[in-house]
């Protein structure tokens, strides 16, 4: 699906409307949809053309999207590492 967005010229110039504006808009939309729980990491990979999980993690960090990480998550990981001898 193609989407066209009309932006007044004066606002577009303040946004630095270069060739990367469509990509920036797509990334902002993707980050927000992930933040709201409507996209998954595989969705982001497909939409944005990422090849690795590291690219997805870097993208989320750049857009200040952080996953909830509880003390229970930490304890579960600690126990798993302990079982593996670490």
Residue pLDDT, tens place only, 32-65:
999 999 999 999 999 999 999 999 999 999 999 9
What's the mean per-residue pLDDT of the chain? Answer: 91
Nearest CA among 47, 46, 42 for reference residue 23: 47
- Are 28 and 36 spatial neighbours (Cβ–Cβ below 8 Å)? no
Per-residue buried b or exposed e for 25-52, using 16+ beta carbons within 10 Å of the residue's own CB: eebeebbeebeeeebeeeebbeeeebee
pLDDT at 17 over 70: no
């Amino acid at each position: 699906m193609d989407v066209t967005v009309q932006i007044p010229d004066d606002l577009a110039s303040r946004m630095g409307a270069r060739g990367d504006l469509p990509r920036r808009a797509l990334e902002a939309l993707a980050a927000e949809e992930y933040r709201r729980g409507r996209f998954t990491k595989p969705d982001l990979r497909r939409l944005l053309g990422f090849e690795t999980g590291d690219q997805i993690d870097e993208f989320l960090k750049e857009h200040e999207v952080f996953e909830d990480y509880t003390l229970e998550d930490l304890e579960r990981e600690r126990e798993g590492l302990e079982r593996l001898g670490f």
